[in-house]
A and B are shown apart, each in its own frame.
Chain A
């Protein structure tokens, strides 16, 4: 297995996180990770990005539409 370059590493980050690399690819990825602070940081920042998106608040339905939908549901003939 050839040594991974950083510019290849960054393209494999999601595949690594999704456990979609072949065993050989994963080994090369992890080997690179232990030796390269820049790539370790890159991987970490991708994780951090995903976490930040997870922390985004969601909007809610307006109370009016919520009530209207509940009424529609209730009034629907069975």
Chain B
């Protein structure tokens, strides 16, 4: 998906005030940035402001970019810093219970003394495959709502990994978290969203 010029070329063009290069990154990254900003702030309008503010900082600071990370990581770090500053004003941090808890309801599994302890009572119900990979509006809405319900860190990770397609190591670098931590956050987030889809598809079948 990234057929942008390599960083070196891109950065040189940006420093040379090449407007087409700026338009390229602006159009390529703003959508993902808006989505990520929404993980920190509570309205679309604030997210748009965060993205705007980020790009202004990028224009202001591009000459000082040293290439210690990728350009994308650098831009996104400005975004997360900007969004976090604003986010902490907008809502209180939700305490997260990210570790230790099972991600699937324990009651789905047989307990000790049952014929197969630790195994499914009822396997997960079958889902319909979306036709040609196209989601219905209802499913889209459900996914967006599910993301909103996630704790901030889980939401940021799943947005970057699954919605934006970032590799794990770049997410770790951006958020300054370990690979193991990144995995736990992604796992919990995916399990949560999967469960929402399951509820939706199950209800749809019985209604």
B-contacting residues, A13-50, CB 8 Å? 13-15, 18, 20, 36-39, 41-42, 45-46, 48-50
Q: Which residues of B contact A70 (CB under 8 A)?
A: 19, 22-23, 26
A56 touches B119 (CB 8 A): no
The size bracket of the interface on B is 35 or more
Residue ID in chain A nearest B55 by CB atoms: A69
Q: Is the interface of A mostly helix, strand, loop or mixed?
A: helix
Residue of A nearest to B187 (CB): A14
Binding site for A on B (CB under 8 A): 15-17, 19, 22-23, 26-27, 30-32, 34-35, 44, 48, 51-52, 55-56, 59-60, 102-104, 106, 108-109, 117-120, 122-124, 126-127, 129-130, 133-135, 139-140, 143-144, 147, 158-159, 161-163, 165, 168, 179-180, 183, 186-187, 190-191, 193-194, 197-198
Known contacts: A38-B123, A54-B165. The answer to whether A8 contacts B118 by CB under 8 A is yes
Given contacts A5-B109, A11-B103, contact A50 B48 (CB under 8 A): no
| A1 close to B (CB within 8 Å) | no
Q: How many A-B residue pairs have CB under 8 A?
A: 151
Can you name 20 A-B pairs with beta carbons within 8 Å? A5-B109, A6-B109, A7-B109, A7-B119, A8-B118, A10-B191, A20-B183, A42-B124, A46-B191, A53-B159, A53-B163, A53-B193, A54-B163, A55-B133, A56-B135, A61-B30, A62-B48, A69-B56, A69-B59, A70-B22
